[in-house]
Each structure stands twice: as structure tokens, then as C-alpha cells.
Chain A
Amino acid sequence: MRHQPQFYQQQRIPSIAQRRWKSFRKNKLASAALLVFSLIVFAAIFAPFIAPYDPTLQFNDLLLPPSWYDEGKTRFLLGTDEIGRDIFSRLIYGANLSLKLALIVVIIAGSIGMSLGFVAAFSNRVIDQLLQRLMDLILALPSLLLAIVIVAIIGPGLPNAIYAVALVLIPHFVLVTRSAIINELNKEYVTAMILDGAGRFRLFAKCILPNILPPLIVQITLGFSTAILEIAALGFLGLGAQAPNPEWGTILSESHNNIVNAPWTVTLPGLAIFFTLLSINLLGDGLRDALDLDK
């Protein structure tokens, strides 16, 4: 029997962030996804140090299978492509490129979309309705089609593909921001704050912003995965990044020619895209649960 201390145990109330982190950690899939995604981000950031070769360097070994095959060489972990470039290096640099591009897209689309959503939520009915209709319409348009038309106008190439994908993503941010703000504005504590005489800025910064953050964070993760997918799709269709750029979709479309005789040149880049998307989506799902948004 142990001696019981005669004072109250100090109770540490976990902060909201800590609570959410805890609940996120409980979700094993999401935690694993976080790990995988961190690895991908790490590989992307340190690509020049991790990748054994320059992504455009051409060796004399063409279409070498991955190293675990009999004909493979350990020098080229995942084999080489049609003109003798190391696939592993290209995929690592591709991670760098894809994540960077997706980040740029999300920053562009997010800042424009959130500002517009903010404007819509706080402005009068007419502007709000007009904006709503426009966004609904853009949402109704097939995203890739819109991106393709934009690319057709301003010409294929990476920067143009970025603008196109960003434009397609904007409406999602507008709608999420708008509905989140309006949701909060209708709550009683906000009314109380307004009655207390809080100014618009104070109102926004102190009580609306913290409460609309969760849906926005989830939207950002979703936007991130959509951006990666659409950029890759444009690359695959020959409208995004142009060869010899090691963008994943572009690599895939280049290797398409070898699907019959060198299937690994198709399966590997696809796996890279797939695992990145899967980890982000699992992460998004986990966040949604942790942030308790599924009501």
C-alpha cells in the first residue's frame, strides 16, 4: 500500500491543439499517412542530396529494369528509361517538382479563393448571389476541360498549367470560406460579441478566424491533392510540364510507349503519384475526424 499524498494532483488541461493531436494520433491509418507524406516531403526537399544522378543525365544503359531483376544494375535502383535516364532520380526530382507546383497552386488558389469567400460572406446579397452563381457554374464545368481550354489559349507549359489548375481550384476555397464564415456569423456568441461592441476586425480576428480554420485546413489538404492530380493529368496529356522536365505525369506519358516491353517505366511513376495522393487524402480524412468536422 502506497502512501497517498495529501494534496490535489495538479490537473493539466490539454490545449485544443493537444487534444486534436491526440485524437489524430489515435487514427492509425492517418498517422501512417503522415509518416509516409513526411518521407515524401523530406525526399522532395532534399532531392539533390538523395537522388544519385541528375534527372536529365543520359546513360548508355537504355530501358534497364529495376535492380531486383536479373538484368538490372544496382547502380540504377529503379532502372532507366528510354533514353537512359535514372528513373529513381527522376522520380525524386519529380516529387520535388510536383509538391512545389501543388504548393504554388494552393497558395494562389487559396489566397484568391479565401479573399473572395470573405468578400462574399461580408458583402450584400446581390454581390454574394452573383459570386455564388459564378462559382457554382465554374464548379459545374469539368475541371480538366476548363484547364485544357485555358492551356489551349495560353499555350502548353508549366506556368500556364499552374494558372489553369489554380483557377479551377478557386471556387472550392470561395465556397468553403463563405459558408464557414456565415455559419459562424449566425451563432449566438458572435451576436453577443457584436452587442459588446466589437469592431469588424476584432470580430474576425478574435472569434471567426479561429473557428473557420479547421474547414480551411481540410480544404487546403484536399486542394493540395487535387492540384497534384490535375497537374499530373495535364502533364500526362502533354499539356502541362514538357519533357525533359521530371514531372510525374510527363514521365508517365513519355513512358507510355514502353508499356508493352518495359512495364516498370509505367508502373513506377504511377505508384509515386498514387502513394502521394493516398497519403494526403488519408491525412485529410484523419484531420477531418480529428477536427471534428464530420457533423
Chain B
Amino acid sequence: MIRLFVRQMLMLLTSLMILTFITFGITRFFPQESLNHISSTSSQSNLLNEYIFYLEQIFNGNWGISQAHGTEVLDEFLTFFPATIELSVAALLFALIVGVPLGIFAAQNKNTWQDKFIVSTTLVGYSMPIFWWGMLLVLLFSLSWGLTPVASRLGFEYDILPVTGFMLIDTLLSDQPYAFEAFYDALHHLILPAIVLGTVPLAIFTRITRSSMIRVLRSDYIRTAKAKGLSQMRIIWVHALRNAMLPILTIVGLQISVLITGTLITETIFSWPGVGKWLLEAVHRRDYVTLHAGLLAIASIVVIINMLVEVLSFYANPKLRHKR
């Protein structure tokens, strides 16, 4: 157990190390004046010294001042990040809640027309350019039918104090008389962006669940269970699902980076004040300090989450857990 932990920590450290190499390498290409805070000023410094200085600055939290707003980029990142988490989690939940049952249903009815329909639909979802998909949904749901708001996280008439940065929590914490109404409004604002962002993961989850479920249903222990006369429902939800979910866990980890890619676009379309929109605006402003900080922060978070998922899937998988 401890060995595993140490091993994972080492892997994580090397990954983060390589990551700082990459970001350090990238900063070499930035215009000099934009990165004064992380490049050492001594004249006779070599590459190694500069790298060490860079690391020091990063660890001291000295990530620089954004060119556009004149505030600490690290602070800015922290103000925008909760919005991105909220959106990503909502999208992930949407994808899981719809995708997994769909995949199970398809697996149960393997090779029927329903199954084929679901599989082809997943390909449709998988092929969807989400920048277009987002605009299409806004056009239909918001502009034509008026069912959902057009953009942003909350109607501007609600004055909600940002405490945690998570709108759903902040609205409930607020002592305004309309707090609950604002919560409902925030939920309303979350629907379309979450669907848009969740579409590609939904397609992937459905496919993975289906193939994983088919594999499990073929295995001996399920046949035994069937032979014992257990009901189909019981077999699937109690016996098969647990094992079928293992690959999904791994995929969820891999989907994090897909989700972040998606947030860049989704947040732009829905004017969602998260990290993605923040970074894109930084690109248009040629704000290298913000870009560097955003890349480093997001990449570290993705690497760390991937590691956590790996550990988690290790604990969830009895085969691996009992090996040692």
C-alpha cells in the first residue's frame, strides 16, 4: 500500500517536473519584457540557474501581474477557476447520468436496432463541433423558444457576493431576500453550457459503458448468476455494473483534458466567466503572463487529477488491490 503511494507520488513529481521543463521552455519564446518576474536578472546566468530561479518564483507563488488588469494572475486564476469547475462538473454529471444507463441499455440489447441507433448517435455526438453545437442550441432554445438564458452564470439583476466562487453555493449562502430565486436562476443558466460541454464525453461514456458491459456480461460469473436464476435487473445493477464501471473511471480521468479543451470554447460561446474565457482573452491581448500561469496551473491540475483517478481505480479494482 505504502509502496504504491510512494510510487504514485514519484510519478506525479516526475510529471510535474517535466511539465515545468515544458513551461520553462515555452517562456523562453515569450517576449523578454513580459516575464521579468520569473527570469533571473543576473547577467552571467546559465540555463540551469535560470530554471532554478524560475522554479523558486513559481513555488513562492510569484506568478506575475496580468498585463490587462494589473492584478496578481494567481488571484485572477482563483477567481475564475470555480466557474470552470462548476461547469465541468455539471457537464460530467450530465454525461454520466445519461451516458451510463444508455450504454447499459445498449449492451443489454446488443445488435438490436435500439443498440445500433444508440451507437450511431454516439458517433453523431462525437463528431459534433461543439462551437457550432453551442450556437445552434442558443439559436433554438434561447432565441427562438426562450426557454433558457443566452449567456453568463446568473441574471445580472441578482447581486450575489462571491464567497466560494461557486454560483450554486454562493446563491444559497447569500442573505439577499431573493437567494433561492437566484439559485434557481443559476441552475437555469447552467443547463445549456453543461449540455454543450457534456456532449462529447456523453458519447464516449456511452460507448465505453456499452463495450465494457458487453465484455462483463460474457464472463463466467455472470453466466453463473444467470444460471442461479437471478433477475436481469439484479445481475446488471448489482453484479455486472461494478466491474463494468472500472474502465469508465479511467476514462473519466482522461476526459478531464477533453473537458478543459471544451471549456475554452463553451465559455467563449456562453460568455461564462471561467478560466477558458480568461485565457482566450489573454491570447487576444498577447498577455503572456496570464497565458503562462494558465497553462501551468491547468496542466498541473489535470496531471494531479489523473493521478488521483489512477489511485482511485486501483482501490476500486480488487484484482489489482490484492495482487500485492
Contact = CB atoms under 8 A, between A and B. Distances in A.
Do any CB atoms of chain A lie under 8 A from CB atoms of chain B in the complex? yes
Interface residues of A, number: 46
A236 B130 CA distance: 11
B87 to A, nearest CB: 14
Interface in A151-170: 151-154
Nearest to A141: B299
A44 interface: no
Interface in A206-243: 225, 229, 232-233, 236-239
A137 interface: yes
A263 B257 contact: no
Interface in B265-303: 265, 268, 279-280, 283-284, 286, 288, 291, 294-295, 298-299, 302-303
Contacts of B284: 238
Interface stretch (B14-22, B58-66, B105-113, B235-243): B14-22
Contact of A274 (B128, B264, B288): B128
29 contacts: A136-B15, A139-B257, A140-B15, A140-B257, A141-B302, A142-B257, A142-B261, A144-B261, A144-B265, A145-B264, A145-B279, A148-B264, A148-B279, A149-B295, A152-B283, A152-B288, A232-B129, A237-B131, A237-B264, A237-B265, A237-B268, A259-B138, A260-B143, A266-B132, A266-B135, A270-B133, A270-B135, A274-B132, A278-B123
Interface residues of B, number: 45
Nearest to A138: B22
B131 A29 contact: no
A260 B30 CA distance: 39
Interface of A: 29, 133-134, 136-137, 139-146, 148-149, 151-154, 225, 229, 232-233, 236-239, 249, 252, 256, 259-260, 263, 266-267, 269-270, 273-274, 277-278, 280-282, 285, 294
Nearest to B276: A145
Given A133-B18, A139-B257, A142-B261, A278 B124 contact: yes
A142 B129 contact: no
